[in-house]
Amino acid sequence: MKLTSDTIEQLYKHLHSGAEGLSVLTARQRIAAQKKKANVKTRLERELRLLLRQFSSPLMLLLILVVTGDTAIFYRGNKYK
């Protein structure tokens, strides 16, 4: 069990950094690596997924069924007037 913390030099070595921070090249490489891992979706994709998820709700399906049935009854009732 280690009771003391690492020296500052050991921390810099572990973090691949230095007293002045990351070099510009290292920072760019890390940012590029993070961007590759990021799962960025367009606004259209996000909104379409949200729209499709709405129809997986039983309440939404019931609402669509009721509105469709009500509309059919309304138009059938007004057919002969």
Domain chopping of the chain, boundaries: 8-37, 46-77
Predicted local confidence at residue 47, as pLDDT? 93
pTM for the full model? 0.38
Residue 53 above 70 pLDDT? yes
When comparing pLDDT for 9 and 18, which is higher? 9
Mean pLDDT, to the nearest integer, of 21-48? 86
* Structure token digits, residue 35: 């961007």
